Every structure is written in C-alpha cells, then in structure tokens.
Amino acid sequence: MRTVLTGRSLWLDQLSPQPQRPALNGSLEADVVVVGGGFTGLWTAYYLKQLDPSLSVVVVERHHVGFGASGRNGGWVVAEFACGLDKYAAMSSHDEAFRLVRELHASVDEIGRVVRAEGIECGFHKGGTIRFARNAAQLERQRQEVAHEHAAGFTNDDFRLLSPDQTRSIAAADGVLGGLFFAHTAAVDPGRLVTGLAAACEDAGVTIVERTTVESVGDHVVHTDRGDLRARHVVQGTEAYTRDLDGERRRLLPVYSRMIATEPLTAEQWAEIGLDDRPTFADDRYMVIYGQRTEDGRLAFGGRGIPYLWGSGIDPESEVRADSHARVDAALFELFPQLRGIGITHRWGGVLAIPRDWTPFVHHDPDRGFLAAGGYVGEGVATANLAGRTMAELITDADTQRVGLPWIKALPRRWEPEPLRWIGVRSSYRLMAAADRIEERGKTSRLGITLANLLRGS
C-alpha cells in the first residue's frame, strides 16, 4: 500500500504512458480551434470529424489532455442538471425542458456507444445511482423529489424510491432509512475515457497541441503564448479555468472538490458492502458526497471541502490539504464503518465550475464565430458529451433536435466582485453544513433548502 499526497488522481496515476504532444509552434489557421483538452473540447472535436471529416480541427491545451476536471472527477456519467428541469422550463417551456433532459439521459448511452465503437477500455458500466436516505429529513426530500419528477413526466424507469431493505440489498450503508434509485448513470474511469477520446480524435485527423497557454479569445482568433490561432469557429471549453482568460475572471466560479481512493477490497469485503452492479452512490446531505466501485475493486470517493478561494483562486497546494481530506475519509467510514482501517492509496482534488444561475449552458454567437459550453456544477462527464455534440452540429449547420434545445443561450452573467462572492459562497456553505448537522440530530431544517435555492438563484 502507498499513500499519494501529490494531488495526482487515481485515474491519471494508473494511465499507461501517454503521447508527448508538441506545443504550438507559431501561428496557424484552421476551420475550428477548440480551447481546452477536456471532455467538452474533445467531444466537440470528435463529433466535428464525424459530421464533416474535411474540417481542419485544432485542440489547444495548456497542460495535457485531461489535466483538469476531466481527469480528476468521480467517474459519474450522470444524466442530471444541477439546476433541474424547472429552470430550463422557465426559460422556454416544460416540453422543451423535458426534451433537453431526455437528450441528456440519452447521452449516457451515446458515450457507451462511442466507447464500444472506438475500443476505449475505460470500465464503462451503466449501473445507475443509488442515493441513501440516512435521516428523516433526507427521506422526506427524496419522497418529494420522486413525486415532483413523476409529475413532470418521468417514471419509475427513471426515478424510483427504495425501501430500507431494497436499499440495503444494493449497498450495506450504515443508518439507511430508504433510498432513491436513478437509472441514467454509468460508472467510468474518466482518465482512460478522456485519453481514449483524445486518441480517437487524432485517429480522425484532429490536431492536439499541449503545453500551450491560451491568453485570450477574440472574434475568430485565439491568442496564445506561442502564436495566434485563427479560425472560422472558436470553441471555448475551459470550465473552471475560464478564470485565467483575459476579462473572464468572474464568468464561472471555481469550487474545489476532493477525492480519495482505497486499496482494492477483498471479495469478502465486497460481499459485505454490496454495490455488485457498480451503481454510483451518495446520500442526500447538502454538503455533497459521491462514490463508485471501480473496475479494479476499489472505492473512489469524494466530497466538497473548502468550497472557494479568494479571487476565484486555483491553488494546487490546497488540493491535498490534510484537514479537508480528513473530512472525506470521515464521510466514507461513516457510510461504511466496516471499512475502518482500509488503506487509502490516493488523495487528490480539483475544481468544478459554477455559473451564477447554476444553469449549464451552450452559447453560440455566429457573428463572432464563437461557441462556449460549461458550468456543469460537477456533473460534466455526461453533460459535456451533449454539449460537444450540440456545438459540432451548430458549427456544421446540422438539422437536429439538439440545435434548438433551451440550454443554448447567452453566456451566464458574471459573479459579484470580491469580497462579496467570497463572503457569500463561504457563508452559504457553512450554513448548509449547519443544516446537515441539524438533520443528523433528527430535526427538520428548512435552512439548507432555503440556502440551496438562493445559491441557485431560484
């Protein structure tokens, strides 16, 4: 057993040696330039070459493919929007928002199709998500959620409540009063998925340049430290790292999440825990946690630690802070106390991006030749596929239902200047943690619901 405190994720640590792609060497022109070598950018590039192989497509990445959230996340290919259906319905109509969510559901299977077609070995398995209700308030919220989703047109094939026995038959988590099962989720090794996707893009003729810093994005041009890239279309898929582009510091809020991975568990330990069909798992506390059973028999588990750094900061040293990782350990062993003493082999962190209205978006400005997508609020593995596919269709003028979905809209409004956003975000997270403590004592708290709605701009 070894403990890795360098911030390198399990997924990236286990990768076979990757190609050393060159940096940009002077200015060039292309049909499409994609900024960001994560899921958003690579899915866009992949579908562009599927739709029109004649297009010249260049992906530019500051570090290496999958450096950001795409190589550090929890491996949930989950078809959910953090804001839910109702906010998109308010922008358009219930039917249009429902169609958008169904397209996201279908994206999970679409990723599975591409994985099979391209021979990407990434442990993709569609086992759904189980969310435990571990106190009365969580149980009541789950009942209300399922009733709301069914009223919106979804069925038990999408969302269903579980009895305590049904929940425990899936996973032997501690203190379970019931649960909720959501069908449209797969578990995956995101490191192998993102690098396999990059290889598929290159096989199709996409050029990927790494170790090239994008400084700003303009009309039909991307300015880098190694030359300018000019194109008919520019796609920005930079998520939390949008804050590094000139003038974009407050566009998306970078928020930290932290993860651990256990050593491989024995067959006896898995027989005690369950998770046989590899569902992703969480409970319904406000301070989000998330986990999966990996293909090689570990538990990969994460949660929110320190939520936000002053000035939209991104600090690699904070990704391995012992105090915040200790909270992740405690949450895992609270769920599965039978695992106390198990070896932890990896600890890492990364940043996700939150838009001011908590609403993931696709943006298209044809006059500027500019497209962007992001703001996934930690649910980007599936959502980035739908975004990339949609942007590729917008660029190629494809006549599909996706090009009219209601998340294609203006860029999100900017977050407040400091110190307002630091005070607001930090205070809100502390209050939500307090709401969790109230509910753990068996009391009902409206505090968390109110704060969650405020954060989402509801």
Chain centre distance of CA 314: 17
For the chain, percent of residues with pLDDT exceeding 70: 95
- How high is the pLDDT of residue 319? 80
Record the tokens describing residue 383, joined without a space. 């959502």
What is the distance between the alpha carbons of residues 392 and 394, in angstroms, rounded to a whole number? 5
Q: Collapsing DSSP states into helix, strand and coil, what is residue 158?
A: coil
123: left (phi over 0), alpha (psi -120 to 50) or beta: left
What is the distance between the alpha carbons of residues 1 and 23, in angstroms, rounded to a whole number? 36
Residue 205's H or E segment, with its range, is none
- How high is the pLDDT of residue 5? 47
Q: Which residues of the chain have pLDDT under 70?
A: 1-6, 305-307, 444-458
Strands, E assignment, 24-141: 28-35, 57-60, 76-78, 129-133
- How high is the pLDDT of residue 458? 44
What torsion do the CA atoms of 130, 136, 139, 140 make, to the nearest 10 degrees?
-160
- How high is the pLDDT of residue 318? 78
Cβ atoms of 407 and 355 within 8 Å: the answer is: no
Could you check whether the bond before residue 419 is cis, i.e. omega within 30 degrees of 0?
A: yes
Strands, E assignment, 79-213: 129-133, 159-162, 178-182, 185-187, 207-209
Cβ atoms of 41 and 33 within 8 Å: the answer is: no
